[in-house]
Structure 1
Amino acid sequence: MTKPNDQDDDGVALTPEENKAVSERRSGSAKVVHEVIRIQGDDELNRPALSLLCSAFAAGVGISASVLAEAFLHQHLPDAQWTPLVTSFGYCVGFVIVILGNLQLFTENTITVVLPVAVKPSLHNFGRLGRLWSLAIVANLAGTFLVAAMLAHRMIVSQDQLDAAVAVSAKLLDNDAATTLLRGIPAGFLVASIAWILPNARGSEFWVVVMVTYVIAVGGFSHVVAGSGEAWLLWLTGKASFGWAVGGFIGPALAGNIIGGTGLFAVLAHGQVRDEIKTD
Structure 2
Amino acid sequence: MSRKINEQDVIDTYEHQEGSTNRQKSQEEILVEQLCEGMEAYKQQNSKVFIGSVAAGLEIGFSYLLIVVLYTFLEDKFSAHTIPYLVAFAYPVGFIMVVLGRSILFTEQTSLLALPVLHGRRSVLQLLRLWGLVIAGNLIGGFFIALIICWVGFATGIISQYSIGEIAGHVTEAELYVIFGSAVLAGWLMALLSWLVTSSNETISRIFVIYMITAIVGFAGFHHSIVGNIEVLAGLLFTDDILFSTYVGFQTTALIGNAFGGVVFVALLKYRAFTANY
TM-score range, shorter chain: 0.7 to 0.9
For residues 156-204 of structure 1, what are the alpha-carbon distances to aligned partners after superposition, in whole Å with 9 as ceiling and x for unaligned?
5434514334333321132121111111010000000011111222220
**AA aligned opposite 2:233:** W
Which residue in 2 is equivalent to 1:61?
A: 58
Mark the CA change 1:156 to 1:49 in structure 2 (over 3 Å): closer, same or farther: farther
- 8 Å contact 2:65–2:149 — kept in the other structure? no
Identity of aligned residues (%): 27
Aligned length: 251
> Does residue 1:143 correspond to 2:141, yes or no?
yes
Equivalent runs, 1:126-205 vs 2, <5 Å: 126-152=124-150, 154-157=151-154, 158-163=156-161, 164-203=163-202, 204-205=205-206
For residues 204-232 of structure 1, what are the alpha-carbon distances to aligned partners after superposition, in whole Å with 9 as ceiling and x for unaligned?
00010011001001101001011000111
For residues 217-270 of structure 1, what are the alpha-carbon distances to aligned partners after superposition, in whole Å with 9 as ceiling and x for unaligned?
1101001011000111111122211111011x1011111101110122211111
- 8 Å contact 2:95–2:214 — kept in the other structure? yes
Which residue in 2 is equivalent to 1:104?
A: 104
> Does residue 1:255 correspond to 2:253, yes or no?
no
Task: Work out the CA distance in 1 between the residues paired with 2:97 and 2:164.
Answer: 19
Equivalent runs, 1:1-280 vs 2, <5 Å: 26-77=23-74, 78-80=77-79, 82-120=82-120, 124-152=122-150, 154-157=151-154, 158-163=156-161, 164-203=163-202, 204-237=205-238, 238-247=240-249, 249-276=250-277
Mark the CA change 1:88 to 1:96 in structure 2 (over 3 Å): closer, same or farther: same
Instruction: In structure 2, list runs of 5 or more residues that go unmatched.
Output: 1-19
TM-superposed deviation, 1:46: 1.0
Q: TM-score, normalised by structure 2?
A: 0.84
Q: TM-score, normalised by structure 1?
A: 0.84
- 8 Å contact 2:168–2:242 — kept in the other structure? no
Mark the CA change 1:269 to 1:252 in structure 2 (over 3 Å): closer, same or farther: same
- 8 Å contact 1:70–1:165 — kept in the other structure? no
For residues 67-107 of structure 1, what are the alpha-carbon distances to aligned partners after superposition, in whole Å with 9 as ceiling and x for unaligned?
11111222333215654333102111111111111111111
Instruction: In structure 1, list runs of 5 or more residues that go unmatched.
Output: 1-22
Task: Work out the CA distance in 2 between the residues paired with 1:142 and 1:206.
Answer: 26
**AA aligned opposite 1:126:** V
